[in-house]
Chains A and B, each alone.
Chain A
Amino acid sequence: MAIDQVPANRRLVEELYANGYLTAAARQAALEFLKPHDQWSLWISRLLLIVGSALALSGVVYFFAFNWSQIPPIAKFASIQIGIVAAVGAASVWGFTRTHGQVLVVGASVLVGVFLAVFGQVYQTGADAFELFTAWSVLILGWSVISNFAPQWALWLAVTNVALGLWWRQAALPSEEMAFLIYAYLALLNGMALAVREWGALRGVDWIARRWTRVLLTIATLLALLVPASTLVMADDPTTSMLVAGIMGLIGHVVLYSAYRHLLPDAWAVSATVLSGCLVLDAAAYRILSSALGDNTAATWLSLGLATLVIFATAMVYLRSIAPKLKAAHD
C-alpha cells in the first residue's frame, strides 16, 4: 500500500509513537490535527442542550400529572399553549435551520402531545388513545417537514408507530385471522423511512445522513420483521396474517442483509440483521427439537442450548470473516 493510501487515525499515531517513530510533541501535534482539542466542548454543549431540553419537558409533564386536580382545566390548556407559542416564537428568532431553533421545535412538538394528553384526560376521551396519537402525528408533520432535523423526524416516526399500533387494536378491530398484519404495516412504515434515509444520504443530505439515524431505523425495521418471522416458524397452524407478515419478515431480513452487505456496506447493520436472523433460526430450532423430542423437556432445552451456541457461534465466525471487507468498503 502506498503511503498516501494509509488512512491516518488515532491508532496509527499511537502505534508510531509506541515504536519510537514519533516524539511526544509530534504525537500531540498529530492528535491535535486529527481531533482538535475543542471538539469535546462542542460535543458537551450539544449533549447538555439535549439533556436540558428533555429534563425541562419531562418536568412539564410531571408537573401536570402531579397537580392534576388543583389546576383548573383552562389554566392547563392556556399554559401549554403559551409554551408552544414561546417555543415556536423563540425558534423563529433563532432560525429554524439552526440547532437551537430545531430543538425548540422538537419541544413544541412534545408540548402538542402534552396538550392532547391533557385534553384526553379533561374530557375523558382516553379510551381512544389512537385518536390522540394520530392527531399528534398529523399536527407535527408540518413542523417535521420544514425542520430538516433528524430528532424531530425520529419523534414523528415514534408517534406514528404508536398511532398505527393503537389504531389497529382500537379502531381496526382485526379478527384473530388478521391480527398479525400489523407487523407488516409497521415493517413497511419503518422500512420506508429507512429507504428514504438511505436515499437522502446518497444524495448528500447532511442532516439525515447521521449514523444514528441508520442504527435507529434498522432496529425499528428489524423488530417489525423479527416478531412475525419467528412467530411464523414456531406456529403449528399459522393464520393468514401470520403467513403474510411472517414471509414478509423472512424476505425483509434477506433484503436488509443484501443491502448492507453489498449496496451500502455497513458492518454494524449487517451484524444486526444477521443476529436478528439467528433469533429466527433459534425459533426454528426450538420448533424442530420440541417436536422431535416431544415430552422430554430437559432434552429439548439442553439441545436447544447447544443449537443456540452453534447458531450464534457460526454467525460470529462469519461476521468476523466479512468485517474487514465491509470496513475497507466503508472507508
Chain B
Amino acid sequence: MKLDPRTTVAIGLTLAILVLFNISIIDREKTISTGKTLFLELAPVDPRSLMQGDYMRLRYVVEDSVPDGVLKEYEKRGYLVLRGDSANVARFVRVHDGESHRQDERLVRFHRQFGRIRIVPDSFFFQEGHAELYEDAQYGMFRFDERGRYLLVGLADTNRVPIEP
C-alpha cells in the first residue's frame, strides 16, 4: 500500500507525539521509584474545586521562612535550598544563588508575585468526592531523584503517613 504524503506526515507526527508521551511517563516513574522522600509542611488552606475535578490549593510553611529583604524587588523566580530534619521534614536553609549545594540539600522552584513566595506545584488533584480525606493533610510528600528533579507524590497526615483513598 502506498501512502500519500499527507498521511505519511500525519502518522509521523502521531508517532512523535506517542514517543514523547511515553518518554515523559518513564521519566516521572523513575523519579518516583528512585527518589528520596522529603516532607513539606502545609499551611492551612481551603479545598477548592475546578471544572476538571477536585483539587486542593497548597501553601507550604517553609514559604514563610524566607527572611524579608533577602530577595530583591525584581527577583520573581528562583530556587529555595531546603534540608530535611531528622523526621525528613524540610527546613529552609537559604535562597539559592547559583552556588553548588551539599548532597543532602534540595532545591525547590518558587515563583514570587506581589511579594508572596509560592513553591510550585501548589495544587493537589484528587478524585471528585475525596475532599474530606485530604482535609487533615499536614504534609506534602515530595520525591527528589539524583538529578534534582522532584515530584509531589501525595499528601500525608500528622504522623507523615501517606493518605491513600
Contacts and interface: CB of A to CB of B under 8 A. Distances in A.
B165 interface: yes
Interface residues of B, number: 38
A184 interface: no
Interface string B123-165: 1111110100000000000000000000111000000000001
Contacts of A124: 121, 123-125, 151-153
Contacts of A66: 127-128
Contact of B53 (A65, A95, A122): A65
A170 B77 CA distance: 11
A173 B13 CA distance: 33
A146 B4 CA distance: 12
Interface stretch (A7-15, A84-92, A238-246, A298-306): A84-92
Contacts of B126: 68-69
Nearest to B8: A92
A308 B31 CA distance: 60
A92 B127 CA distance: 36
Contact of B77 (A88, A119, A125, A173): A173
Contacts of B53: 65, 68, 121
A304 to B, nearest CB: 33
A173 B7 contact: no
Interface in A145-160: 146
Nearest to A170: B111
Contact of B121 (A119, A122, A127, A173): A127
A77 B25 contact: yes
A68 B128 contact: yes
A281 to B, nearest CB: 33
Return the 5 tightest CB-CB contacts between A and B, nearest first.
Answer: A68-B127, A127-B121, A142-B13, A121-B125, A124-B152
Interface of A: 65-66, 68-69, 77, 81, 84-85, 88, 91-92, 95-97, 105, 108, 112, 115, 117, 119-128, 139, 142-143, 146, 170, 173
Given A92-B7, A124-B125, 9 more contacts: A69-B126, A77-B25, A81-B21, A95-B7, A119-B25, A121-B52, A123-B28, A123-B151, A127-B123
